Amino acid sequence: MRRVVRLLGYGGIAAFVGGVVALHGLRANLDPTSHTISEYSLGDYGWLMRVAFGSLGLGVAATAIGLRWSFGSSLWRWLGYLSLAATAVGLFLDAGYNTDRPGVSETFDGSVHGDGMLIVCLSLPAATYILGRELSRFTPRLQQTKMLQALGPAQLVGVLGFEISPPAWRGATERIAVTMGVVGVALLQSLVTPYRRKTKGWEAAHSPPILSPQTFQVVTPVDSGLTAMAFDATNPTRTETNPLETGGGPPHPAACESQPMRR
């Protein structure tokens, strides 16, 4: 099941990127500088843009589930997971309802599409920053988590830039914000661990390495020489004795008493 969820996560992101790139060629009559990607859902090949929105929503939902399985839950992590779920809902709304054509009065479909975009613009930056900060304590991939913490505020700046941009640049500013959002989702998906069981897989991947058992030697005097007692750290009750050469040192007093002197 974990493999299926990971496949849906990466597949949904890849399908969205592939669909949008293809539409730039199929609908070359739309200037990407001034036209938003939502306008690709109007007219020819509009179904491809709706499928792209739905695929990304599925990928975001799978990413949230995969992160929950990999990192467990806490108050902040749950807030991040729920923010990703809200992002998926917003994308599904964008897939089900088309935007309005430029210059026409707002319709019901266009209003719902706008609401979906608003949900995505607010929830995805929050999820990116919260999970990037929270998961940095549980994964060795600190570079990804730092990038996520930077992408969260950057996405908000990109959304603000889209809102205040003139109509001639709305397409370009929207694509910048969308690119940062997709990169954030891809980074979150890269943190999902492939292990089937969190208890074994997570500990094996993120616990510090266990040092090999060390042998400690304790030298004690015994009769006519010195004896080294080797203690196994994994089995303290097991010892092995090996005589050590003294190297010409003075004999132990007990040895002098137990053996007669030879002339």
User: pLDDT tens digits for 42-59?
Assistant: 988 999 999 999 999 999
* Longest distance between any two alpha carbons in the chain, whole Å: 124
The pLDDT of residue 202 is 45
DSSP string, 113-178: HHHHHHHHHHHHHHHHHHHHHHHTTT-S-HHHHHHHHHHHHHHHHHHHHHHHS-GGGHHHHHHHHH
Strand partners, 222: 225
As a dihedral over the C-alpha atoms of residue 87, residue 93, residue 94, residue 96, rounded to 10 degrees, the angle is 150
- Residue reference for tokens 């500088």: 33
Q: What is the pLDDT of residues 77-100, one digit of tens each?
A: 999 999 999 999 999 999 999 998
Task: Calculate the average pLDDT of the chain.
Answer: 80
Please tell me the pTM assigned to this model. 0.72
Residue 119 in tokens: 């949900």
Domain ranges of the chain: 2-206, 215-258
CA angle, corner 39, sides to 35 and 42, nearest 5?
Answer: 145
Q: Which residue has the tokens 């002339």?
A: 263
User: How confident is the model over 192-251, as pLDDT tens digits?
Assistant: 876 543 444 444 444 444 444 444 444 444 444 444 444 444 555 554 444 444 444 555
Token representation of residue 92 = 């599904």
Q: What is the pLDDT of residue 250?
A: 53
* pLDDT higher than 70, residue 39: yes
